[in-house]
Structure formats: structure tokens, C-alpha cells
Structure 1
Amino acid sequence: METLSYCEKKRVQIAIALYQEIDVLLLDEPTNIWILILLKLLKKLYWFMIRL
């Protein structure tokens, strides 16, 4: 992971957090465009999961 950029490292950390079984995921800097995209994705995933 030493060769990854800061943003790439953050994406990996988010992917690891989403892969693990967690109850709460706290995200900082909601104005960051990647976080906004991730929040939209999580919202879609949530609605998909509750319909199963």
C-alpha cells in the first residue's frame, strides 16, 4: 500500500470497512465529492438490502 496515493488509500480503507460486519460507519468531510458518491451508493445498498 506504500505506492498508493492518499485518495487511493482512503478508498481501500472504506472498502475494508464496508466488507467487515459493522453496525455503524462514521464518515468525515461530507463535502468531499467521493464521500457524497459513497453516501448515495450506501443509501441504494440500504434500500436494496431491506427489500430482500
Structure 2
Amino acid sequence: MDIRKYLSAGYFTPNVSRTEFTKVNFILHLSSNLLEMLVSKWDCNYTYQCCHC
């Protein structure tokens, strides 16, 4: 599955199956959560604060 195909189009084409749509949404959701977690961890270390004690 090529996720760039969907992202470059800017929208999900109607012929995409429901499971594939959910899969892509899940992957995007997961990666954004991971990114957020990494950023907040870096922010905590950077500002010398203990966020997750």
C-alpha cells in the first residue's frame, strides 16, 4: 500500500475500501501520537522538567 498516493491526492478516493481507509487513518494517528510523544519528551529534557514521573 502506498500512503503517498493518498497524501499527494489530498483526499481519499471513493474506491478505497473501508478497511484500507481505517488502516491509513490508524497509521497516521499512530505516527502523529508518536511524534507528539517524542516532541514532549525532548521538550521535558530540554527544559529540565520531569513530566512523566
Normalised by the size of structure 2, how large is the TM-score?
0.43
Question: Rg larger in 1 or in 2?
Answer: 2
State the TM-score, normalizing by the size of structure 1.
Answer: 0.43
